[in-house]
Every structure is written in structure tokens, then in C-alpha cells.
Amino acid sequence: MKPFGRFLLLGTVLAAAFSAAALARAESPDDLAPYKMIRSLQFVQDTVVLGDHSAMEMQRFLLTTIDARLRTAEPAIFDDPRNVDAALVYAMSGGNPETLEFLIKKDVEGHFDSRLTDALRNYLSGTGSQSVKSLAEIFPEYKRSRVGPYLALVSANSVLRKDPALALSYFDWARLVAPGTIVEEAALRRSIYIASQAGWIDRSMGYANRYARRYLRSPYASQFADLFVTLAVDNFEKLNEKDILEVLSFMDVPRQREVYLRMARLAAISGQNKLASLAAERAQILSGDGESVPKALADLYSGLASVPSGDVASAMETIVAIPDDKLSVKDRALKEAARAVAEEVLREPVASAQKTEPVVTTVPEGEDASYDSLNAAETAARPTETSTDAAAVAEPEKDAKVEKERAGVDPAFDSFVSGGRSKLDEIDKLLEGEGT
């Protein structure tokens, strides 16, 4: 954020703080209307997603204060519909769901719409699928009300698995009626995921572009980075590289480097070697002279991408030279896996100690060669009268070796391949649990 922007934001926060202090002197929290307290909560939450993380402590304080106010409020306070809406917004803004349950049980005057509260109770209790139908019926009625943007988020979350198109329509409405707020931030971030999962890559990139323009300083921007990296890696062949660079252009250098490193890591693990090399190279360029950790990570991911290429020896040297103390536990496992693979690729197979002379079978003129060769093979494989079952069981490995020699397979090469498979199994265990 530019210095002038920081100064403006600081001035706004201070002004709000002085106003709140003056209001507190005139009116104690016990007398303050819930809808006024919700306005303060909304302001603080919007400030947080716009980049002022110091306001997160105030957000927690307000949630606790509002909870106490709602629980101790006289029933008559809900004669004002603004306070009813405040209680609903509180429940959908990270408030205590048990407080809504408490208010519903005390509501003998019917201030709360039972259709809406029942749907919210199901959603907040983790049984959102049961509230899908009721929310779809209620939303058109409430979409232009004070609870409309929050209800749009809840409705979208309840249908995103069954009907992603409908979920996106809910999120789009939330963004339309609540721009620049925590509601828009959440709607954009979740829309990226839904659109990418549904295969609507252009729409997903559009949402990512909007998010990068507005909310890179949100405390949830790390989730956005993970979503964007997965989107870019999974759809690299379909995407225009300019679109990726445009999203990254809104980030400062440290954020760009972090995204490139995440992209290189996921691409290397996923076998997208071209993208892994490209992203690692960009991360290297963006690393300063005194920043050894980003360079070490870029070297590791670039080395991982180079192992399947022709220059395995050079990749091996790069990987081995990376200090372990610059890597996390998971990245050290990646380094070990890459080293093991490179060693297997570079290991020369041991020459076979035994040579098997080819068997030449002379076929009388006019006979079917394939038929006689088959008979000869069956005769050679048939046990003699002195063979016993015990002998057949005692030497299974020898028989298998002979069969492979007859098939033209070098036993030494077969041993090399088996050893490689065993090593790969070990690597799989090292990488178990790796993801985005």
C-alpha cells in the first residue's frame, strides 16, 4: 500500500475509534442497539480484508461484546427490525451459533422468521444440505434486505457441490450488492474454486484477476495464492501465459516470488516439468542477493524438473548441493526423493555373468516352423521322469531365470528394473501426503 493510502486508512480508523469512544461515553454497551454494534463489526471486518490486520483483535472483541449484548437484551428490543437483522448478520459473520438458538427460543412475539432461522440453524450446525430448498425459496424475498449479501454467501455455500452454476449466481449477487467488503472478498475467493472445479477456466481466471486487484492484503490471500497456483498448474496448457502474468502483476516482488515458488513445487510434483522450470527460473530472478532460502527452493524445484531430462547428472549435482537447513521437512523429503530417482537413472546395469547361446532349430522343408518351434519349447519345458514336485518347489527362482533367458531378457537388467521399482516405492512413501 502506498504511503498516502496508509495515512488515509490510519486516519479513517482513528476517526472511527474516536467516534466509538465518544459514543461509549454517551451510551454504555448495555444500552447500545445491536444494529449499531453490527455496523462497527462490519466496518472492522472490511478494514481487515483491505489490509489492516491489526484490526483483527478489535474484530474478536466486537464479536464477544455483541454476543453478550444479544443474550442480555430485553425481548422488546427486537421490535425494531434492524436489531433482528443484526442478530442474523452476527450469526452469519462468524458469531456464536448458539446465541441465535438462544434468541429463537426466547422469541415469543415472532420477531424472527422461522423459515429463515430454521434454514440458518441447519446450515450453521453443519447440515447445510437440508437447508438448500428452503434457502432457495427464501433468498428472493430477502435478497434486497440488510441480510441479503450474507444470505447469498450462505445459499451459495449450501449448493456449491450440487449446482455450481447456481452457487456462482449467488456469489455474483453478493459481490454486486456489497462491493469492497468482506462479503465480496469471500465471494470472489470461493468463486475461483467453484469455477475451476467445474472446468470453467476463463471464469475462474476472471475471478482471480478481480481478487488480485482488490484483496491481496487480506489475511485470507494465502488461500487465494493456493487456489491460483492450482488453477495455473492444472490448466497450464489451456491458459494464456499473459493472463497468468497479469494476475501476478498486481503483486509486489516478495508475493510474486512466493507464488512462483509454490507453482514450481506443485508443477514439479505433478510432472509439469516445463512449468516447474519456468516458475523456478522466475523465482530465482526475483530473489535478492541476501535471500538464500528462496534461491535454495528454486534450485530444488528446478532440479526436480530436470531429473527426467537428459542432463540428469547436472540436476543431481544441483540437488545434492542444496543445504538441508534451508529446506522445510517436506522439502527435504522432496530432495531425498529426487536424489534417489537421479541415482537410479544414473546407475549402470551390471553385465550378466552368464551368456545363453541361442538355440537354432532346423525345420524340415515343408513343415510349419511355428508349430515345430512350439513343440520344441513344450518339450524343453516338460519335466523329465526324474523330476519331482519337491525339486520344482525348491528352485522357483532358477526356473524363472531360465524362462527370462529363453525370452531374451537380461537377468541383470531385470534386477536393475526391480531395484528401481523398490526405490520408487520408498520414494512414494516419502512423498505420501504431499499435495498442494
pLDDT at position 309, please? 62
Name which residue leads in pLDDT, 370 or 311. 311
Alpha-carbon distances of 81 from 65, 87, 123, rounded to whole Å: 20, 10, 22
Closest CA to 198 of 233, 247, 160: 160
Report the pLDDT averaged over residues 392-401. 42
pLDDT of 310 reads 58
> Looking at the predicted structure, is the pLDDT value of residue 114 above 70?
yes
Whole-number Å distance between alpha carbons of 28 and 101:
25
User: pLDDT, tens digit, for every residue of 120-177?
Assistant: 988 888 775 666 777 888 999 999 999 999 999 999 998 988 999 999 999 999 999 9
Percent of the chain with pLDDT over 90: 46
pLDDT digits (tens, 9 = 90+) for 306-341: 777 656 777 777 788 888 888 888 888 888 877 777
pLDDT for the residue numbered 411: 53
What helix, strand, coil percent values describe the chain, rounded to 5?
Answer: 75, 0, 25
Q: Tell which CATH architecture fits domain 252-355+398-436.
A: Alpha Horseshoe (1.25)
Q: Is the pLDDT of residue 300 over 70?
A: yes
Query: Any idea where the domains of the chain sit in the sequence?
Result: 25-112, 252-355+398-436
Q: Are 116 and 142 in contact (CB under 8 A)?
A: yes
Nearest to 402 by CA among 387, 419, 385, 380: 380
Kindly report, residue by residue over 67-76, the tens digit of the pLDDT.
Answer: 999 999 999 9
Q: Note whether 271 and 260 are within 8 A (CB).
A: no
How is residue 364 written as a grid cell? 524340415
pLDDT at 360: 47
Q: Is 128 exposed, middle or buried (0-12, 13-18, 19+ CB in 10 A)?
A: buried
Q: Is the pLDDT of residue 357 over 80?
A: no
Compare 59 and 358 and report the one with higher pLDDT: 59
Distance of CA 289 to CAs 157, 162, 259, 295, 369, Å?
A: 45, 50, 19, 9, 73
Question: What pLDDT score does 406 carry?
Answer: 46
The three grid cell numbers given for residue 322, joined into one nine-digit string: 542444496
Is the Cα torsion angle 414, 420, 423, 425 positive or negative in sign?
negative
Q: What is the mean pLDDT of residues 11-40?
A: 64
pLDDT at 398: 44
Distances (CA, A) of 92 to 124, 146, 154, 188, 433: 8, 12, 8, 17, 33
Identify the residue with better confidence: 332 or 46.
46
Residue 336: predicted pLDDT: 83
Higher pLDDT, 419 or 271: 271
Contacts of 197 (CB under 8 A, 6+ apart): 164
What is d(CA 415, CA 395) in angstroms, rounded to the nearest whole number?
18
Location of C-alpha cell 525339486: 391
Contact 155, 136 (CB under 8 A): yes
What is the pLDDT, as a whole number, of residue 428? Answer: 52
Contact yes or no for 227/193 (Cβ under 8 A): yes
- Is residue 26 pLDDT above 90, yes or no? no
Which triple of cell numbers denotes residue 368?
510349419
Q: Please tell me the predicted confidence (pLDDT) of residue 322.
A: 84
The pLDDT, as a whole number, for residue 315 is 73
State the pLDDT confidence band at 352, using cuts at 50, 70 and 90.
low
pLDDT in tens, 212-248: 999 999 999 999 999 999 999 999 888 888 889 999 9
**In residues, how long is the chain?**
436
Ramachandran region of residue 433, left (φ > 0), alpha (ψ -120 to 50) or beta? left
pLDDT at 334: 81
Question: Could you give the angle at which helices 114-124 and 97-106 cross, rounded to 10 degrees?
Answer: 150
